Amino acid sequence: MATLKILEFPNPNLRKIAVPVTSFDSDLKCLIDNMFETMYEANGIGLAATQVDVHKRLLVLDVSEERNDPKVFVNPTIDVIESDLADYDEGCLSVPGFYETVSRPKKITVSAQDKEGSQFEIEADGVLSVCIQHEIDHLDGKLFVDYLSPLKRNRIKDKLQKEQKSISS
Ligand code: QAP
Ligand code: CO
Average pLDDT taken over every residue of the chain = 97
pLDDT above 80: residue 169: no
For residues 74 and 1, which has the higher predicted lDDT (pLDDT)? Answer: 74
CA distances, 20 to each of 33, 53, 121 (Å) = 19, 15, 17
User: Which residues neighbour 162 within 8 Å (Cβ) at sequence distance 6 or greater?
Assistant: none
pLDDT above 70: residue 25: yes
Give dist(CA 102, CA 50) in Å, integer: 21
Angle at 106 between CA 145 and CA 149, to 5 degrees: 20
Does ligand 1 come within 6 angstroms of the Cβ of 63?
A: no
pLDDT above 70: residue 114: yes
Least confident span in 5-14, 33-42, 74-83, 86-95: 74-83
Task: Summarize the confidence of residues 94-101 as an average pLDDT.
Answer: 98
Name the active-site residue from 8, 90, 100, 135: 135
Catalytic residue flag (residue 82): no
Does ligand 1 come within 6 angstroms of the Cβ of 86?
A: no
